[in-house]
Structure 1
């Protein structure tokens, strides 16, 4: 019997996806539930899974744009699949082991072997297939296909990760041979994610009245709080609490005080949710992802941090689902992770505002008439001036600043301990 294997649907609003990479070849014998291909939409990567065992016939080429629910391949279930017939995927760990030094002599031999392999492959690297995910990882790390292990016919993200381990110091690569420097250009098609991101960024600039307001935050109290209680937190919950979780909680309190910042425009209407779902920008091998931490307004710090850890793990492995990136009411992005001192973050539509965190730098500041060195962070709020007034945007950012500089405000639901005590 011939079984059709259809392209999966990432979400209701998506009608077209890219078949990023086949993980099997035409005519291979495959087993039920085996991963056959990677399928990329503008927001997520999905796996094409074999519904039955048998002989596969590929109907679509790598990199092709296809309609969801169209037939990507067929499986002839009448062909028996012996246990030894299914090809095992390339294991990057095994490849690395062959060039990992265990002694001085081995280090020299391995280095020479790796140098020889890349030299032999430099002339044919252009003919090697690579997935969009692998290409984006190589571009981000300034890596060429020449550096990937000899003998591969197709590059995937796993092989790129193996080379990154080599670069980190497991292998000392010989630099005895120098290639002639040539001026060249590379042209490659945009991935679906990059295409959609480009459209969204242009749309934000053209269709919103975006402004940005800035402030600076003294991080001393919050950093001291984390230092004093981090060990106890880890002992109780099994994971550390990060700075961004405090910003999520501080922002949720301020959003409840200034609900228009938590609102969005829908046609001629303004929609204001009574909940706070905060999108958090995270980097992944395939690009920027913005998963949503839901109900931040009613969650504790430990619950927020647990959700953050879960989403970060999924983002690193490219497993964040479309549903997990849908429905946020506000966004936080942390450019400080990459050393950014100040920026004007772009609104994440259809939301109306985004908070930008930045790096923490020791700077001299005036404290009660004295100059002191304090760990300071610039924060930025970009907002849609069509529905958010300047007064509310500035006041919102000041409230976030107050909560971070006095973390007790977070514990007392947006008020200082004194205000809570006096019933103010």
Structure 2
């Protein structure tokens, strides 16, 4: 494997704009102030003259490779770049052996591993001894959540640096830098310029590729937004149905419903659909929201969601998705309650703690003489025969102090349920005191 600082064969092909604009020092990096500023983790490391093993976590096109290369330059480390997709165990052995020779000669190696999450756990373990003895400084790059994709041993020896997508102001700075290098402004109106940057979706490399396309058209009259949209395709939004973005967006959708914000709920719903999410998955989650966050505060919410799911199954996409949108808006504006959800979890905890206790004998059936002799069913009061249809008997195991698991809030239909609870509590007290 060769590293990026070795000379490449001469080529007459023009270098891509993204390569020509690659920063030559960390001060030229656009964005990532939270990591590179003097108060940021990378800035503090460089100020102390001590670079530790790093995991750079962030979306595509935010500077992970560039930052790793410049960190090597700033700390006078030999830079080696590999990709976990194309690198096998024999390649790694050669890299580690070469790093050992450099280490013996007094120079360290910064090993940059792109897509490090692609290595399996055994391969990740292979880095550990070389990190521990100082043979390499590992800088891994990943678009996936390190907490889930990297093993604990590797994470415990590394600092995770979160890199963020570029905002519109940072994309504008990058656009201006590109125009300066190209020697002319882009032939775009102000709105078209904004649209171009929006198309990049926070990806600096994608923006430079789009700029390179626009610059190649040799247009003299500025194009407006509509004309630009006809000639350029918007960058596909980053969305992995099995990855972090999937879980981030469904969390945002669920919390928007819980927070009674129908506009935000519709936005995240649309984001997931645009990303290619299965509407049936969303239908299932919408039903889950109805039973977790609305529940008995609005008993018809669950039926509305199930009907919306059924409507989707009958209509299919895209018409059926409107039924799911209707259900979402209804949930967002419905009264909220997690009273049953909290009560259910409390009941599960209590059941684990007291799982071997028998029900009280008086509520046990006695189909045999032996069971009758043991007292099964004795003293049971048939509630329909009791005054008010309520006997007030104990239904918990003997020896357990009666808990209160369900505390409905004073919202929606649960106001009525609260009244019923209070009514039965008073009757239970009267029955226990013998009326």
TM-score by length of structure 2 reads 0.25
Report the structure, 1 or 2, having the larger strand content: 1
Q: Which has the higher contact order (CA 8 A, sep 6+)?
A: 1
TM-score by length of structure 1 reads 0.25
Report the structure, 1 or 2, having the larger helix content: 2
Larger Rg: 2
